[in-house]
Amino acid sequence: MSDLFTSAEQAAAPIGPGHFIAVVGPSGAGKDTLIALARAGCGPEVLFPRRVVTRAASAYEDNDTLTPQAFDEALARGAFALNWGAHGLRYGLPVAINDAIRAGRSVVINVSRAVLPAIRKTYAHVTVVLITAPPDVLAARLAARKRPSDGSLDERLHRTVSDADVAADVTISNVGPAEQHGRELLEVIRRG
41 among annotated binding-site residues: no
- From CA 10, how far away is CA 118, in angstroms rounded? 8
17 among annotated binding-site residues: no
16 among annotated binding-site residues: no
**Residue 182 to residues 26, 142, 191, Cα–Cα distance (Å):** 17, 20, 14
29 among annotated binding-site residues: yes
150 among annotated binding-site residues: no
Longest dimension (CA), the chain: 44
Judge contact between 103 and 17, C-beta under 8 A. Answer: no
Sheet strands side by side (includes 19-24): 46-47, 106-110, 19-24, 126-132, 170-173
25 among annotated binding-site residues: yes
Which positions make up the binding site? 25-32
Query: Residues comprising the binding site for ATP?
Result: 25-32
